[in-house]
Amino acid sequence: MIIKLKNKDTLEFDDFKFKCSIGKNGINKKKVEGDKTTPKGIFNLGKIYFRSDRIRKPTTILQTKVIKKEMGWCNDIKSKYYNREIKKNKLLRHENLFRKDYKYDIFIVIKYNYKKRIFGSGSAIFIHLTKNYSPTDGCIALNKKDLLILLKLINRKTKIKIY
């Protein structure tokens, strides 16, 4: 099964249609770190991360991981840890996973630029939460209810197609 993002505001899976938001600058086949675009292509999904202090473990067959205060996602294009979960380090640029806001209370890793990383081609691409559907920095955002429904429907073979 494939999750489809056909346009900037609708994510489809099976018979379900979910309102969503994407990167501020649209969809781009040649994504660059910091360009605020959502990458175009077909990608596998990774782990589901969640804040156990804010949300119960989601119902899903995918692998889950509790977000801890020291966790980050490396977006330092000069680091061997680029586009990987890391323990926060002042010497590495990174995205905080344990945020003050709600956006990363639960998210799915989109395995964009993941297996054979190209440094500088974009990192930390997730399906995360939104309340107002404002544009993201390159991720896809859903409301909490819809993301929790999606997690119940998808499996290890599910891919996402962004076009």
- DSSP lists the bridge partners of residue 13 as 16
pLDDT at 6: 81
- DSSP lists the bridge partners of residue 142 as 129
Q: List, for the chain, all residue ranges whose pLDDT scores fall below the cut of 50.
A: none
pLDDT at 4: 98
Burial class (CB in 10 A: 0-12, 13-18, 19+), 102: middle
Look up the pTM and report it.
Answer: 0.96
All domains in the chain, ordered by first residue: 2-162 (2.40.440)
86-119: pLDDT as tens digits: 999 999 999 999 999 999 999 999 999 999 999 9
Q: Do residues 108 and 140 touch, judged by C-beta distance below 8 A?
A: no
pLDDT at 7: 85
- DSSP lists the bridge partners of residue 2 as 159
- DSSP lists the bridge partners of residue 140 as 127
